[in-house]
């Protein structure tokens, strides 16, 4: 690495937008009806939310931002921000004054020379300022990089309808669908079922790669493929999504746009081109996508969209690669938590005023898959302490797993509002002709591996066979059951 450059990701959160003090948020009552009272959009205009984490808002009402970030367990370092801002302002004003003076004098020199006049006096006046200008410019770049780094580490602000809480235990169940089946025998978990079918082999996978990989064979592999096909077909034909095939290797700017970088580099896998060393220039480095949300959402990076093109509804079936750092010992059995798994992802790019409704809609699209597969599930509104880094509001779908006697996450649907759009500079032209950040949403529709687990466990029979769900049979050449080998 020839020169050590300050780590400044290509994107920096340049921000604009209306500044509105956030009203004190009152948590919605929890005793409300089993369906989603909590999902009612807050009365405040979406504009309020859109401005969130805009540096303008931090300048205008730092205390309010800190208070709302605190609800999700993030301690905003207000002193550091204020100090950086003070420094930035001072240096920026001085730098720009100096640049303006230099530009003006240089222009005069040009004009003088064009007229054939002597410009010595002007030259003498400007020549001494060069070093000072360079010094200030460097200083400014430095403080702005620090500020950008600071802002890139800030998580999104939760919507006011998000239940307050510290951890996953405080998530709010919004609704349930279907009833767990009662078995006339002790249900097995998918590892046992899969091995009996000769279709799941974790020993072979670990020989090839190591822990947290799976090998599927025969009918189980076919069922896995059928699930992905069924999901894609449903979303494209019935929910209005456009199917995409995307790169699985992406660059750092792309991952910064959706929020995985710089903060979560440890959760990712990366690769380099054969001849380049690990730590070569960033340009040679690729990251394996942890979800197709990354590639799909970044399609609008650095774009200004015509509003009539919105909403964009995109879907893709891709493998996802996650290092699962920090989850040692968690879900080590079976294929619940893998380094590589397939997912059909749903992404929507919408106008700011539409994103609340779009989250409900998108969550419904993911639910439709579970319903068609007749898998019992429940919907959780994640609490402030449990929502993801870039999310303003998230619903998790949890499917019933008889083998674990528990509901387990199978989809996560989030409204990121302008958070990713600001990082990506993804905008639209509004009615006033001004650029305005779009809102982005994403959700699994669904995680294919976990859906396979759910099918195996919910459709298992006492004789060790597994019934194929009705809707998948056309994808399985009419096969109605998988039998033990």
Partner RNA sequence: GGAGAGGUGGCAGAGUGGUCGAAUGUACCUGACUCGAAAUCAGGCGUAGGCAUACGUCUACCGUGGGUUCGAAUCCCACCCUCUCCGCCA
Catalytic: 412? yes
**Tokens at residue 407, please?**
């509901």
Residues 6+ apart with CB under 8 A from 222: 476, 479
* Matching residue, tokens 């990713």: 420
Residues lying near RNA in the complex (CB under 7 A): 5, 14-16, 55-56, 89, 92-93, 95-97, 99-100, 102-107, 109-111, 113-114, 123, 126-127, 130, 141, 275, 281, 283-284, 304, 425, 427, 435
Q: Cβ closer to RNA: 130 or 484?
A: 130
Report helix, strand or coil for 262: coil
Could you tell me the smallest distance in angstroms from the CB atom of residue 436 to RNA? 8
Choosing from 88, 196, 313, 450, the catalytic residue is: 450
Of 37 and 253, nearer to RNA (C-beta) is: 253
Q: What share of the chain is helix, strand, coil (3-state, %, to 5)?
A: 40, 20, 40
Give min distance, CB of 359 to RNA, in A: 25
Q: Which two tokens stand for residue 323?
A: 């290092």
Q: Which is nearer to RNA, 285 or 483 (CB)?
A: 285
Whether 450 is catalytic? yes
8 A C-beta contact, residue 455 and residue 375: yes
CB of 347 to RNA, least distance (A): 22
Q: Which is nearer to RNA, 317 or 356 (CB)?
A: 317
Q: Give the C-alpha separation, 405 to 182, whole Å.
A: 11
The number of C-alpha atoms within 13 Å of 31 and in the hemisphere containing its C-beta is 0
Phi-psi region of 464 (alpha: psi -120 to 50; beta: other; left: phi over 0): left
DSSP SS3 for 312? strand
Closest distance to RNA from the beta carbon of 159 (Å): 23
DSSP assignment, residue 463? T
Choose the catalytic residue: 181, 337, 371, 461: 337
Answer for the pair 477, 462: CB distance below 8 angstroms, yes or no: no
133, two tokens: 């200008």
C-beta closer to RNA: residue 7 or 104 = 104
* Two tokens, residue 146: 């620090």
Closest approach, Cβ 48 to RNA, in A, equals 18
Task: Report the alpha-carbon distance of residue 199 to residue 195 in Å, rounded.
Answer: 6
> Whole-number minimum distance, CB 110 to RNA, in Å?
3
DSSP letter for 460, please.
Answer: B
Q: Which CB, 5 or 207, lies closer to RNA?
A: 5
The active-site residue, picked from 409, 429, 481, 483, is 409
List the alpha helices (DSSP H) in 384-447: 419-424
Rounded Cα–Cα distance for residues 365 and 371 (Å): 10
Selected catalytic residue, list 301, 322, 422, 423: 322
- Least gap, CB of 74 to RNA (angstroms): 23
Q: 289: alpha, beta or left, given left = phi > 0 and alpha = psi -120 to 50?
A: beta
**Closer residue to RNA (CB): 304 or 325:** 304
The CB-side HSE value for 13 (13 A sphere, CA atoms) comes to 31
Cα–Cα–Cα angle for 262, 268, 271, rounded to 5 degrees: 105
> d(Cα 368, Cα 452) in Å, to the nearest integer?
16
CB of 286 to RNA, least distance (A): 9
C-beta closer to RNA: residue 281 or 463: 281
Has 337 been annotated as catalytic? yes
- 412 within 8 A of 320, measured Cβ to Cβ: no
Q: Which residues are catalytic?
A: 322, 337, 409, 412, 450
């Amino acid at each position: 690495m020839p020169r050590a450059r300050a780590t400044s990701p290509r994107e920096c959160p340049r921000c604009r937008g209306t500044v509105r003090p956030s009203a004190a948020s009152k948590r919605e009552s929890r005793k409300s009806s089993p369906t989603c009272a909590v999902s009612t959009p807050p009365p405040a205009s979406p504009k309020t939310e859109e401005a969130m984490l805009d540096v303008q808002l931090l300048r205008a009402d730092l205390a309010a931002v800190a208070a709302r970030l605190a609800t999700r367990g993030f301690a905003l370092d207000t002193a550091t921000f204020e100090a950086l801002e003070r420094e930035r302002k001072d240096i920026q004003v001085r730098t720009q004054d100096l640049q303006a003076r230099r530009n003006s004098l240089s222009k005069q020199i040009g004009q003088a020379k064009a007229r054939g006049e002597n410009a010595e006096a002007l030259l003498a006046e400007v020549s001494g300022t060069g070093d000072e200008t360079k010094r200030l410019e460097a200083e400014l770049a430095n403080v702005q990089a620090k500020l950008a780094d600071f802002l890139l580490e800030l998580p999104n602000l939760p919507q006011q309808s998000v239940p307050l809480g510290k951890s996953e235990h405080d998530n709010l169940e919004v609704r349930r669908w279907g009833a767990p089946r009662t078995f006339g025998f002790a249900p097995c978990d998918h590892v046992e079922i899969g091995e009996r079918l000769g279709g799941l082999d974790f020993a072979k996978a670990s020989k090839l790669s190591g822990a947290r990989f799976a090998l599927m064979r025969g009918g189980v592999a076919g069922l896995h493929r059928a699930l992905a096909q069924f999901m894609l077909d449903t979303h494209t034909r019935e929910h209005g999504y456009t199917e995409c095939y995307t790169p699985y290797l992406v660059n750092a700017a792309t991952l910064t746009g959706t929020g995985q970088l710089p903060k979560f580099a440890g959760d990712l896998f990366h690769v380099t081109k054969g001849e380049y060393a690990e730590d070569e220039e960033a340009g040679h480095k690729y990251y394996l996508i942890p979800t197709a949300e990354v590639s799909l959402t970044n399609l609008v990076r650095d774009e200004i969209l015509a509003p009539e093109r919105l909403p964009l509804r995109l879907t893709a079936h891709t493998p996802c690669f996650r290092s699962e750092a920090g989850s040692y010992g968690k879900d080590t059995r079976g294929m619940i938590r893998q380094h590589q798994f397939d997912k059909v992802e749903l992404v929507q790019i919408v106008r700011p005023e539409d994103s609340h409704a779009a989250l409900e809609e998108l969550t419904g699209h993911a639910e439709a898959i579970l319903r068609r597969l007749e898998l019992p599930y429940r919907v959780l509104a994640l609490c402030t302490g449990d929502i993801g880094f870039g999310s303003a509001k998230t619903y998790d779908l949890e499917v019933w797993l008889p083998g674990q006697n528990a509901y387990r996450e199978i989809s996560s649907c989030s409204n990121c509002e302008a958070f990713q759009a600001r990082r990506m500079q993804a905008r639209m032209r509004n009615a006033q002709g001004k650029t305005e950040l779009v809102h982005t949403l994403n959700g699994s529709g669904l995680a294919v591996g976990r859906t396979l687990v759910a099918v195996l466990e919910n459709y298992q029979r006492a004789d060790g066979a597994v019934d194929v769900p009705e809707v998948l049979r056309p994808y399985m050449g009419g096969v109605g059951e998988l039998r033990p080998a």
